[in-house]
Structure 1
Amino acid sequence: MALRWGIVDRPGGHKSHRRPTPYLGGVAIALGTLVPPVALAGPAVQPVAGILVGAVAMALLGLIDDLIPLPPITRLAVQALAAGVVVVSGVVAPLTGTWLDVPATLVWIAVVTNSFNLLDNMDGALGAVAIVSAAILAATAFVSGQPLLGLLLAALFLSALGFLPYNWAPAKIFMGDAGSLFIGFVLACSAALLVTGRSAGTAIAGLLLPTFVAIVDTGIVVLSRARAGRSIMQGGTDHLSHRLHRLGFSKPLTALTLAALAAVTGILDLVMTLHWISPLNASLIGLGAACVLIGLPQRMRVYPSVSPQPSPIGKR
């Protein structure tokens, strides 16, 4: 369908693929994720219903953006509305214990959704991370007494697993924004739901650890572009995956490395949920690891250095 209708990602700019590659993988992931919970569990109850509505909006937003690139302000507006639906349905991360938790949850969902969108920058990378993150977060949901959320995440895990062989390097199809925004939104909202009503320490660890790879990747990009005076809105090859590739990692090994990192932090979140480690220790480990992983890659030169131009004779 993508090839017949011309829904393809064409080479050019900072993109590494050499031939037009079909989109619509994200549509398959979204359908495979949404149909099982609705079919098996019937009408969803709040707040999972809010997540489903927002996820559909993200998939449609991403699909439109794949076909006709949208202005950033339009994307952010739709993401804010979708996040608002989720918050109104009862998902609020208790970071401060005050009314500030509502806007903080809105911002966090939007930021993490876009972080996963940015993580889709190399064959198999986001697919592998999504498989691991969704599987472990599903287990966390089941042990937390959230079976409907667990079913949704299990469906996402299986959908991403079915998609990955076709997206493995060299990719035969891309998920596009329809898939990356959908995956990011579901994982961000699921993590927020699992910490709703918990302590602030649990909330910090429960938000950071399941989405660790995407947050670290975005932190690396934002910091490196700020240091280089580059806009964070333009594309580039300065992501964590690109840096690993420069170190000699193949694309499959890069995807597996990111998935392994997601597995470690996801399991740490599950261990915290099982009360085998305190929320404080889990938060300190997650925050410390994030700071190290965001800071270390800054030592790798990504952008060419600009030498100062000599001043004309007689002028300073």
Structure 2
Amino acid sequence: MLYGIAAATSALLLAAFLAALLRLPALRLGIVDRRRQRPLPLLGGAGVTLATCLVVVGWEWAGVAPLGPEIRRLLIVAGAVALLGLVADVRRVKARFLVGGTAVAAACVVPYGETGFWLGLPAIGWIVLVTVGFRALDHADALAGTVGVVTAFGVGVCAAAEMMDELAVLLSVLAAALTGFLMHNWPPARTGLGSCGSLFIGFVLAASAVTTRAGHHPVTSAGVLYAITALATADVLLVVLSRRLAGRPLLRGGPDHLGHRLRRLGLTPQGTTVLLGILAFSGVAVGVLVHMGWAPRSGVYWVGAGALVAVLGSLRIKVYGPRRQPSAPVGGPVETSTRLTNTQVRSQLRVRNG
């Protein structure tokens, strides 16, 4: 107990310090979010990643709380995913490479001994979905961090109920590190997560949730996993449906996420983050209660139904501008019209000259 409190406190302070420290190098190196009206440095996520890994590994090195092989492997693989995200922050990386790299990493952490091979495949897909979903949540100040804190506490409670103390400590450290980061990320944000931090957070949370539910009933596990990450997955579903219906490429960014649509309705950035944080907490609470056996399994169905209604309702909010009309091809009607006009001009000249 005392170790968990000390580790969480250390992570909070270290993440807050690193987020502030890395802000100036990010600005000087141009590692910023150029989609905003002001440049937002994106190395805050690197601070969260470093704080989480340094605190957990440091306490193991001191002999206070040795890590098991599963947690050690999870940290190594999650660090590789964070490094991939850092590359995406520094240079343009196509989304399919991020998805492919995350899928390979997910295949390395799924507990096949409890899930089996065939259930391990959808587990890989789900980890990739949640990881990408958290990256998408980073479109608004403090949103990904707030949802990450709520989800980390929920998964940590599930891990503690399964007597996975090492995993519970890791999740509490991650939640504390995100809390320290939010000191600099609350609207108006002074630093952002970037792909490095958002991919790391999503991957650790998704992989940890799969580990805690491994060995349980597959159908119930699917419902619990969805409820715990309902906001991130609903946002992905909304974006996919919206872009498909509008005929837009799936991998092209746009102001079509949940946060963008709530802003269209008149909510402030702070109000948007608070509202979505409450919705995320509601789903996490239902998932935890079902996992603990304190609520019926039907609770996760209500979460799914509520998320579906929210997605369908959000589709009615217009977020795309009018499409640009394609320019006329060479030799098309415009050029033909020009030739006819020139012919008329020459005819008039002949008439005038007799």
Same-fold call, TM > 0.5? yes
1:102 alignment counterpart: 120
SS at 1:70 equivalent = coil
TM-score, scaled to structure 2: 0.79
Q: Cα distance, 1:40 vs. partner?
A: 3.0
Q: Comparing 46-55 with 252-261, which one deviates more in the overlay?
A: 46-55
The range that moved more, 207-216 or 137-146, is: 137-146
Query: Would you say the 8 A contact 1:24–1:174 is kept in 2?
Result: yes
Deviations 1:231-287 (A, max 9, x none): 1101110100011111111001111111111111111111112211123x1331222
Distance 1:93 1:207 in 2: 16
Aligned-pair CA distance for 1:48: 2.4
Equivalent residue number for residue 32 of structure 1: 51
In the other structure, the counterpart of 1:224 is 242
Partner amino acid for 1:210? I
Cα deviation, residue 181, structure 1: 0.3
Q: Is 2:318 aligned against 1:295?
A: no
Change (3 A) 1:290 1:85: same
Which of 68, 89, 94 does residue 71 from structure 1 map onto?
A: 94
Correspondence 1:168 to 2:186: yes
CA drift of 1:46 comes to: 3.9
Change (3 A) 1:152 1:221: same
Query: 24, 31, 47: which one pairs with 2:70?
Result: 47
Contact 2:23 2:43 in 1 (8 A): yes
Alignment of 1:92-171 (within 5 A): 94=115, 99-171=117-189
- 2:106 and 2:48 map into 1 onto residues whose CA distance is 20
1:10 is displaced (CA, Å) by: 4.7
Tell me if 1:3 matches 2:24.
yes
CA contact (8 A) 2:133 2:232 kept: yes
String of CA shifts for 1:44-63, please: whole Å, max 9, x gaps: 32432332122101111111
Could you tell me how far apart the structure 2 residues matched to 1:110 and 1:136 are?
Answer: 19
Give the conservation status (yes or no) of the 8 Å contact 2:225–2:287: no
TM-score normalized by the length of structure 1: 0.88
Matched residues in 1 for 2:325 and 2:48: separation? Answer: 49
Greater share of residues in helix: 2
Shift of 1:130: 1.0
Most deviating of 36-45 and 185-194 = 36-45
The CA RMSD measured in Å over matched residues stands at 2.2
Map of 2:220 onto structure 1: 202
2:169 and 2:228 map into 1 onto residues whose CA distance is 17
Task: Give the C-alpha shift of residue 308 in structure 1.
Answer: 10
Which residue matches 1:57? Answer: 80
Contact 1:204–1:283 (CA under 8 A) maintained in structure 2: no
1:188 pairs with 2:206: yes
- CA–CA separation in structure 2 for the residues paired with 1:177 and 1:159: 17
Conserved? CA contact 1:25–1:179, under 8 Å: yes
Offset at 1:103? 1.6
SS of structure 1 residue aligned to 2:320: coil
Question: What runs of 5+ residues in structure 2 fail to find an aligned partner?
Answer: 1-21, 327-332, 334-354
Aligned length: 300
Amino acid at match of 2:54: V
- 67, 88, 103: which one aligns with 1:80: 103
Given residue 293 of structure 1, which amino acid in structure 2 is its aligned partner? A
CA shift for structure 1 position 73: 3.3
Are 2:300 and 1:277 equivalent residues in the alignment? no
Higher mean C-alpha deviation, range 78-87 or range 225-234: 78-87
How many Å apart are 1:180 and its aligned residue? 0.5
Query: What is the percentage of aligned positions where both structures have the same residue?
Result: 33
Following superposition, the deviation at residue 306 of structure 1 comes to: 5.6
The SS at the match of 1:299 is: coil
* Contact kept in structure 1, 2:230 and 2:304, CA below 8 Å: no
The structure with more radius of gyration: 2
Once the 2 structures are TM-superposed, how far is the Cα of residue 289 of structure 1 from its aligned partner?
Answer: 1.7
List gaps (5 residues or longer) in structure 1. none
1:50, 1:91 → 2: CA distance? 14
| Deviation, structure 1 residue 230 | 0.5
Please say if residues 92 and 193 of structure 1, whose CA atoms lie closer than 8 Å, have aligned partners that are also in contact: no
